[in-house]
Structure 1
Amino acid sequence: MSVEGWRLFGVALAGILFSLEFCSSQEDPNYTFMHNATSAPTTAYYDYIIIGGGTAGCPLAATLSQNYSVLLLERGGSPYGNPNITKLASFGAALSDQSPSSPSQRFISEDGVINYRARVLGGGSCLNAGFYTRAGTQYVRNVGWDGRLVNESYQWVENMVAFEPPMLQWQSAVRDGLLEVGVLPFNGFTYDHINGTKIGGTIFDKDGIRHTAADLLKYANPSGLTVLLHATVRRVLFRTKGRTRPLAHGVVFRDTSGVKHKAYLNDGPKNEIIISAGALGSPQLLMLSGIGPADHLKAYNISVKVDQPLVGQGMSDNPMNAIFVPSPVPVEVSLIQVVGITEYGSYIEAASGENFAGSSPQDYGMFSPKVGQLPTVPPRDRTPEALAKAVKQMEALDKAAFRGGFILEKIRGPLSTGHLELRTRNPNHNPSVTFNYFQDPRDLEICVQGLGTIEKIIESKSFSQFRYDNLPLPVLLNMTANSPINLLPKHKNVSTSLEQFCKDTVMTIWHYHGGCQVGRVVDADYYVLGVDALRVIDGSTFSYSPGTNPQATVMMLGRYMGVKILNERLAAGESN
């Protein structure tokens, strides 16, 4: 084995030992390299500057720190010590919290669907429903990744943050129902993306404690990494004098006191700035730095470095539609554990437990109006007043009304796309984003087929213990308009089709992507086209969402590209 091979083996072994220790505890790891940005010097120099300590940024920083000095800038705070992030039973509370210090930042797409972007070290892995599953082998081939390094990178992630979930009654019934209605074969517990029904992984351990991408920083070389929290990057700095292409060489960021800091790259032909700010943050930051559609940038008095009209294009969000199934018997609290990967392009998943419907002020659910998931009215009618009314109605109901769970379907891809534009020059402000849900009729067709599969599951023998016999799907879809758990918006004197149901009840499953896609904004090595020493590495580079849930692949990508960069520099004869 080469010296580099032994080094990477040692890093992996250390990670396993760390994970055995850390997975039994939810305590703050007390990273010695993590600081508030208020303590940062006015000017500092590093080999790599990574903007965004999220699902890709953390594994990327941990990997590069093995050989080089790395600055990781995160606009949010630490996930440690926050029970709304850590505990499975508190899922949703972090989304409903919209205080300035919240780990989530709500945004509403121009389609009217309420959504969220992460504002915390660890990114979306601190806010999601925890499902962990790899991309399919065909996806990996299509993207052009090295299959062996992909598998090694997934394993590196999994040694720290992935677990096999416990299978209790509700999830088992969904699994058996999927098999009964023909979503075959049964693939057992696996991280792999394979057609049929499977039990996937989770980032919640056996005690219901969440493990996030921030935990991957345990792999880091502490002497090679600096993490600054509450550091909001305003723009990337470029050298242009005497150059045919702009050269990224630094960043400007502000701390919570408004003090401006600058960080620059050390001299060296291979040192880089890497943007990992997410599907909203990365195209937004490129535009704020002068890379984007020239006319749009000039409208905001931004100096144009590269006229790149494709920045912010190709934005997609996988539409989710769900059916609430009231149960005659109690059900466990569970997040996504089982998935049916259908041949026609729909992914069937489920969540259960009365607190996930948001039935009291203490309960914040995956499908609760408290987090903006209000399918009882069409997207553009989900106003603050409508949300408040739905919360009030829910809180007036007996808790027994929420005994049950949701079966949902997500569209593969999707094929429908939209775009992103700036609203202001303030990076703390949300950009404007349009996803154009169901604009492509093929997405709508898949939604209808997915609802048909859900109907068969609900009516299956396997699911019978959790079904009221007098509530078949047509009844569930046509419950009275005054019922706050009815998922069907009413159209007066109109019979609602499943196509209309899909459009009216569409919600997000938080898997939005695009804006800096490979071949359009970045090349196959994730370098931004038209400039030097700048890459984008995160979900904004995806044309399609990988697998049933993307977080595993985004974490893998951070590790994958970190190893590629190290290997390239090693092959060039460089050392730290």
Structure 2
Amino acid sequence: MGWFLAQYIWAFLAGSLFFNGLSYSYKAPMYTFIKEATFAPPILRYDYIVIGGGSCGCPLAATLSHGGEVLVLERGGSPYTNPEQIKINKFVHALVNTSSSSFSQQFISTDGVLNARARVLGGGSVLNAGFYSRASNRYISETGWNETLAESAYEWVENKVAFEPPIMQWQSAVRDGLLEAGVLPYNGFTFDHLYGTKVGGSIFDKEGHRHTAADLLEYAYPTRISVYLHATVQKILFKYNAEKNRPQAYGVIFKDALGIIHRAYISSNVKNEIIVSAGAIGSPQLLMLSGIGPAKHLKAHGIKVVLDQPLVGQGMADNPMNILFVPSPLPVELSLVQTVGITKNGSFIEAVSGLNLGLSWFDRLRGIFELVSNQSGLPHKFAPETMKSFANIIRSLDNSTLKGGVILEKIRGPRSTGHLELLTTNPNDNPSVTFNYFKDPEDLRMCVEGMKTIINVINSKAFSRFRYPNMSVQALIDWMLYVPVNFRPKHRNASFSLEQYCIDTVLTIWHYHGGCQYGKVVDHNYKVIGVEALRVIDGSTFYRSPGTNPQATVMMLGRYMGQKIIKKRLSQEEVK
């Protein structure tokens, strides 16, 4: 999944998993060009400054290094510091760790859904469930990407990070249940997005080692790239371009882990530029902090307006996810997302399985609640008292080992959108994000159809050995209404409907996007409209999430646009 399944559902996951892949022992890359920002000089100069070393920023920077000098500023640490911590059996720990050095930063949307942002080199690919699947041909065509170049960019990514997973008992049962439920045809193993049921790729290798977007830095020209970690960009610097009659980006201010300020500049060469690749939350936030956004909102925070752009922060969307947990009378393997059903009703069906619902996980979950309850700007309904009551519910739950798994549905799109606003001018703080889950009735219709498909899978003959015969699907649904999966009110006493179930139990699948949308905030070359020498290249430019899971396409986009930028640079040099 490009970014992730909701973390609190992964409570029961533990163990080990083996994947088909290359026969070698994993060895973490040793990059000489990755350093802590505390070692950066006070002033730096590069041809390209890439803000954010995430799923898009890493392949982008690696590609750009073959045409110029590249600086990458990543606010998080390195996944290679302790490679064991990102193995598949450490999935839960990496995902819900709330320490200051963790790879994720928790936040709650105003919709009452717990979410997270990546804070690590490699971005969401360091935290997600590893599913690798391309966008549909239609998506690529409608976005205006060159199909041949996109195909080669996907292959470039896949040669480093994508593997074919084995399909064991749980995933096989879900696969066969989907076919029995009519999600046809069976397309076998493929990276392609096709209607029916298929097995997708994984970024976990046969030994359970995660291969992240940071691995794509192996493609970089090592003497032309510098990556600084724990480098938090405070703002982008602008000057006035009289010839173009518009602002022009020329540098950035960033702080290292000790709070020391550094400045990085691009030279006056017209080919040089700053590229924001900080993700769907970070990119619109940084544009606003730098003075590009709705003028009234910026002025309210005391930010000097560089460009009044009311569309920055608009169009925020998150594909809603709804699930059913299915206890199993039989032991099941640990599996993350491998099988997917791509329905014509607009929903995607996926599954995970595993063991061990342990006290340590509940302690971490309670820590998340306590952490976010101390954040400024939380809506009144998420006040500390409310958060503590949820923590008490978590503490009271039975911590015994469970057997079983989760079957989930994610809807296509979505159509419902929201917005992002600043709460503070500190780039380390989370902004306020509203996704407006199910605001559009079509989204709710797709969720209901997806839940019906899940119910059919659970009731299928193929899946029968993994469910208790005396436990009805309605009992599973009722149980979910008592699990604190989000902070929305639960309508337990109302007459049952799948519509209300979708609304009450909605989770994030961490496939959020928007905020700097293509054609509104950036043009067809991902240049910020109305500004010189500044682009945004990442998922914040998307109108809808690509395919079933976006990570493959986000990584592809970095390679794709890197190639286009370098080709343009070289052609200009040839003309001269």
What TM-score, normalized by structure 2, do the two folds share? Answer: 0.90
After superposition, the Cα gap between the structure-2 partners of 1:25 and 1:272, relative to the gap in structure 1 and judged at 3 Å, is farther
Q: What is the one-letter code of the residue matched to 2:387?
A: P
Looking at structure 2, the residues matched to 536 and 571 of structure 1 have their Cα atoms a distance apart, in angstroms, of 22
Hey, what does 1:63 align to over in structure 2? 63
Hey, what does 2:337 align to over in structure 1? 336
SS in 2 for 1:240: strand
Residue 388 (structure 1) aligned with residue 387 (structure 2): no
Identity of aligned residues (%): 61
After superposition, the Cα gap between the structure-2 partners of 1:324 and 1:121, relative to the gap in structure 1 and judged at 3 Å, is same
Measured after TM superposition, the shift of residue 570 of structure 1 is 2.0
After superposition, the Cα gap between the structure-2 partners of 1:197 and 1:364, relative to the gap in structure 1 and judged at 3 Å, is farther
After superposition, the Cα gap between the structure-2 partners of 1:180 and 1:489, relative to the gap in structure 1 and judged at 3 Å, is farther
Measured after TM superposition, the shift of residue 164 of structure 1 is 0.5
After superposition, the Cα gap between the structure-2 partners of 1:371 and 1:169, relative to the gap in structure 1 and judged at 3 Å, is farther
Q: What is the one-letter code of the residue matched to 1:189?
A: F
- Map 1:205-224; keep pairs closer than 5 Å: 205-224=205-224
Q: What is the one-letter code of the residue matched to 2:213?
A: A
Asked whether the equivalents of residues 485 and 505 of structure 2 are also in contact (C-alpha less than 8 Å), the reply is no
Measured after TM superposition, the shift of residue 67 of structure 1 is 2.1
Measured after TM superposition, the shift of residue 479 of structure 1 is 3.8
Measured after TM superposition, the shift of residue 574 of structure 1 is 4.6
Hey, what does 1:274 align to over in structure 2? 275
Per-residue CA shift, 1:55-83, capped at 9, x if unaligned?
Answer: 00000000010121000000001011335
Looking at structure 1, the residues matched to 338 and 263 of structure 2 have their Cα atoms a distance apart, in angstroms, of 44
Asked whether the equivalents of residues 104 and 120 of structure 1 are also in contact (C-alpha less than 8 Å), the reply is yes
Asked whether the equivalents of residues 345 and 412 of structure 1 are also in contact (C-alpha less than 8 Å), the reply is yes
SS in 2 for 1:149: helix
Looking at structure 2, the residues matched to 225 and 137 of structure 1 have their Cα atoms a distance apart, in angstroms, of 33
After superposition, the Cα gap between the structure-2 partners of 1:65 and 1:481, relative to the gap in structure 1 and judged at 3 Å, is closer
Q: What is the one-letter code of the residue matched to 2:327?
A: P
Hey, what does 1:255 align to over in structure 2? 256
Looking at structure 1, the residues matched to 333 and 428 of structure 2 have their Cα atoms a distance apart, in angstroms, of 39
Per-residue CA shift, 1:359-404, capped at 9, x if unaligned?
Answer: 3316899xx77777xxxxxx9679432442343234x3431xx210
Measured after TM superposition, the shift of residue 92 of structure 1 is 2.1
Asked whether the equivalents of residues 488 and 501 of structure 1 are also in contact (C-alpha less than 8 Å), the reply is no
Residue 187 (structure 1) aligned with residue 190 (structure 2): no
Hey, what does 2:150 align to over in structure 1? 150
Hey, what does 1:5 align to over in structure 2? none
Per-residue CA shift, 1:276-312, capped at 9, x if unaligned?
Answer: 0000100011011111000011111111111000000
SS in 2 for 1:522: coil
Measured after TM superposition, the shift of residue 90 of structure 1 is 1.5
Looking at structure 2, the residues matched to 380 and 520 of structure 1 have their Cα atoms a distance apart, in angstroms, of 33
Asked whether the equivalents of residues 200 and 338 of structure 1 are also in contact (C-alpha less than 8 Å), the reply is yes
Per-residue CA shift, 1:400-419, capped at 9, x if unaligned?
Answer: xx210000000110000000
After superposition, the Cα gap between the structure-2 partners of 1:189 and 1:427, relative to the gap in structure 1 and judged at 3 Å, is same
Per-residue CA shift, 1:204-250, capped at 9, x if unaligned?
Answer: 00111101000000000110000000000011111116351111111
Measured after TM superposition, the shift of residue 138 of structure 1 is 0.2
Q: What is the one-letter code of the residue matched to 1:458?
A: I
Q: What is the one-letter code of the residue matched to 2:394?
A: V
Measured after TM superposition, the shift of residue 468 of structure 1 is 1.1
Asked whether the equivalents of residues 350 and 406 of structure 1 are also in contact (C-alpha less than 8 Å), the reply is yes
Hey, what does 2:436 align to over in structure 1? 436
Asked whether the equivalents of residues 190 and 199 of structure 1 are also in contact (C-alpha less than 8 Å), the reply is yes
Hey, what does 2:347 align to over in structure 1? 346
Residue 360 (structure 1) aligned with residue 359 (structure 2): yes
Looking at structure 1, the residues matched to 64 and 287 of structure 2 have their Cα atoms a distance apart, in angstroms, of 22
Measured after TM superposition, the shift of residue 483 of structure 1 is 7.2
Q: What is the one-letter code of the residue matched to 2:282?
A: G
Measured after TM superposition, the shift of residue 493 of structure 1 is 3.6
SS in 1 for 2:494: coil
Deviates more, 1:324-333 or 1:469-478: 469-478
SS in 1 for 2:250: strand
Looking at structure 2, the residues matched to 144 and 364 of structure 1 have their Cα atoms a distance apart, in angstroms, of 47
After superposition, the Cα gap between the structure-2 partners of 1:480 and 1:317, relative to the gap in structure 1 and judged at 3 Å, is closer
Hey, what does 2:400 align to over in structure 1? 398
Looking at structure 1, the residues matched to 480 and 122 of structure 2 have their Cα atoms a distance apart, in angstroms, of 42
Q: What is the one-letter code of the residue matched to 2:329?
A: P
Measured after TM superposition, the shift of residue 440 of structure 1 is 0.4
SS in 2 for 1:91: helix
Hey, what does 1:573 align to over in structure 2? 573
- Map 1:144-543; keep pairs closer than 5 Å: 144-240=144-240, 242-243=242-243, 244-355=245-356, 358-361=357-360, 383-394=386-397, 396-399=398-401, 402-479=402-479, 491=491, 493-543=493-543
Per-residue CA shift, 1:528-551, capped at 9, x if unaligned?
Answer: 000001000000000000000000
Per-residue CA shift, 1:68-111, capped at 9, x if unaligned?
Answer: 10000000010113357421112121222111111100011011
Asked whether the equivalents of residues 113 and 380 of structure 1 are also in contact (C-alpha less than 8 Å), the reply is no
Asked whether the equivalents of residues 362 and 394 of structure 2 are also in contact (C-alpha less than 8 Å), the reply is no
Asked whether the equivalents of residues 314 and 418 of structure 1 are also in contact (C-alpha less than 8 Å), the reply is yes
Q: What is the one-letter code of the residue matched to 1:393?
A: S
Asked whether the equivalents of residues 84 and 93 of structure 1 are also in contact (C-alpha less than 8 Å), the reply is no
Looking at structure 2, the residues matched to 524 and 111 of structure 1 have their Cα atoms a distance apart, in angstroms, of 32
After superposition, the Cα gap between the structure-2 partners of 1:510 and 1:483, relative to the gap in structure 1 and judged at 3 Å, is closer
Asked whether the equivalents of residues 265 and 272 of structure 1 are also in contact (C-alpha less than 8 Å), the reply is yes
Asked whether the equivalents of residues 409 and 451 of structure 2 are also in contact (C-alpha less than 8 Å), the reply is yes
Asked whether the equivalents of residues 56 and 537 of structure 1 are also in contact (C-alpha less than 8 Å), the reply is yes
Unpaired stretches in structure 1, ≥5 consecutive residues: 1-19, 373-378
What TM-score, normalized by structure 1, do the two folds share? Answer: 0.90
Superposed CA RMSD in Å reads: 2.5
Unpaired stretches in structure 2, ≥5 consecutive residues: 1-19, 370-379
Looking at structure 2, the residues matched to 444 and 469 of structure 1 have their Cα atoms a distance apart, in angstroms, of 30
Per-residue CA shift, 1:483-518, capped at 9, x if unaligned?
Answer: 789999753542231111101110001100000000
After superposition, the Cα gap between the structure-2 partners of 1:405 and 1:313, relative to the gap in structure 1 and judged at 3 Å, is same
Looking at structure 2, the residues matched to 435 and 23 of structure 1 have their Cα atoms a distance apart, in angstroms, of 43
Looking at structure 1, the residues matched to 67 and 565 of structure 2 have their Cα atoms a distance apart, in angstroms, of 11
